[in-house]
Structure 1
């Protein structure tokens, strides 16, 4: 095996792995399809491995390719972290900071916080990665994470900002058509909105509140944003942050005495970034912005 392999070959490998065909990878990477094919062949020759087999629908990864996915992604994360660090060198707050958060927090809560941050520091570039998967800060997949659970990894700076309350909500139009449930038994006649894939979190919720088990959901999606959109569209009753529902009269909380789910909220980053101006100001802005959001969500909510 060749001892020194260009990062560009691994980048192309990951592109093909993600997109499933040479042509799709070429479009995503802004390369020509022949270039992608040559780089993939060069990587296979350098490694002495067959990474993909051709099929009528594209290419299929071999076991070797799947085994290489994680270390290749680690190289990718390290390369991007190096680029972000290099771009931040110089006087003042400048460069790129990558922030990861869950879908709903990233779409509904963080935009005004990040807008104010950019207004104060126009030399700062923010990459906002939205995913319900916990990205690995130790591997530098992101610089800063907003998480709904305490970090389990060491070598991280973590600040707990409080608990975001989640409740059951519905649109007034839905409740006008179907009535407002007064207890858990009333939910049997309602359309519930929830997750499709059963996770450990969903199993715990289902054990505590049997009405929220997967088989009870009339509308299922693993996208938090899609669930919120369905609730707002009057499709049924689902879970929503109390603070978001309070922003307008478009959502009404139901069964507030019977259901309340607090989600611990943390802002975390790798301890090696504590002296980075770009990361330090972003970390503090996120903490303060989330504290303000939690404070605004603390006022009493009229129940439906």
Structure 2
């Protein structure tokens, strides 16, 4: 080996190993596929070893590549820790804060909260990552996360802001056309909006003693913002955050007890970042805005 490989090469190697392909690694890192390919080839050349076997089906890691996984991951975590420690020492409210939240919170709750934050902190840039997957704060995929579950890692600072009730909802146009269900039996006879691959609604109905199938849901999607727009268009009855439904013109909450567990909302960041003035002011401002939303104090949009 002529010289120590640049960390960028190791980072691309780790992404290919984790994602299974050059294209997926490129998407994760925000680079082009040819760049990732060149990085892998350069790393192999500098180490004098083969890390991936090339085949028509893609790249297959060699046994050596698999053995390198843990030490590279440990090095990556250590570098991220060093960056977070340095950023935690910053005292100026400037720079960038990356926030991740569910697709529904990102699209329909955060905008007015972020508008207020931008007025207060115009020198802080905000990056928003709408995602229903759990972005990894420890690997710096986000600085602040809004979770619908309680994070358990000791390295995180987390605050339970409250619980968001989930209720059956329909647009007034749909109810005028199809009538208003008064009981659970009535509800199941209506056009229901539901998930495509998830059976969460069907499973919960089963706990209530009702046997539902996919046929009860003539409109299905795993994209929750799309389901919300279908609901607003009057295409059926869905299940939504009560506070969001109350502030949306035309939507009616149906007084049918379903016993749906509420959504807990946790605000989370890394403990090393929590000492950063930039992160802390955005964290506190998000908490204030989200608490107002949970209490129903936000104004209609």
Shared topology, TM-score over 0.5?
yes
After superposition, the CA RMSD in angstroms is 3.8
Deviations 1:187-236 (A, max 9, x none): 3322211222337x667634434659562432222222121112112222
Within a 5 Å distance, the mapping from 1:24-173 to structure 2 comes to 25=26, 33=34, 35-45=35-45, 46=47, 48-51=49-52, 53-55=54-56, 60-64=58-62, 92-173=92-173
Q: 1:124: Cα distance to partner?
A: 0.8
Cα distance change, pair 54–29 in 1 and its aligned pair in 2 (3 A): farther
CA distance in structure 1 between the aligned counterparts of 2:292 and 2:174, rounded to whole angstroms = 31
CA distance in structure 1 between the aligned counterparts of 2:212 and 2:9, rounded to whole angstroms = 45
Q: Higher mean Cα deviation, 61-70 or 255-264?
A: 61-70
Cα distance change, pair 82–266 in 1 and its aligned pair in 2 (3 A): same
Q: SS of the counterpart of 2:139? A: coil
Cα distance change, pair 97–50 in 1 and its aligned pair in 2 (3 A): same
Cα distance change, pair 285–168 in 1 and its aligned pair in 2 (3 A): same
Cα distance change, pair 129–274 in 1 and its aligned pair in 2 (3 A): same
Q: 1:128: Cα distance to partner?
A: 1.2
TM-score normalised by length of structure 2: 0.78
Give the total of aligned pairs.
292
Within a 5 Å distance, the mapping from 1:238-249 to structure 2 comes to 238-249=238-249
CA distance in structure 2 between the aligned counterparts of 1:223 and 1:236, rounded to whole angstroms = 16
Say if 2:9 and 2:40, in contact at 8 Å, map to a contact too: yes
Match of 2:251 in 1: 251
TM-score normalised by length of structure 1: 0.78
Cα distance change, pair 41–267 in 1 and its aligned pair in 2 (3 A): same
Structure 2 residue runs of 5 or longer lacking an equivalent are none
Say if 2:22 and 2:37, in contact at 8 Å, map to a contact too: no
Q: 1:245: Cα distance to partner?
A: 1.2
CA distance in structure 2 between the aligned counterparts of 1:31 and 1:70, rounded to whole angstroms = 25
CA distance in structure 1 between the aligned counterparts of 2:267 and 2:26, rounded to whole angstroms = 34
Match of 1:301 in 2: none
Structure 1 residue runs of 5 or longer lacking an equivalent are 299-304
Cα distance change, pair 245–23 in 1 and its aligned pair in 2 (3 A): closer
Cα distance change, pair 88–268 in 1 and its aligned pair in 2 (3 A): closer
Q: Higher mean Cα deviation, 3-12 or 231-240?
A: 3-12
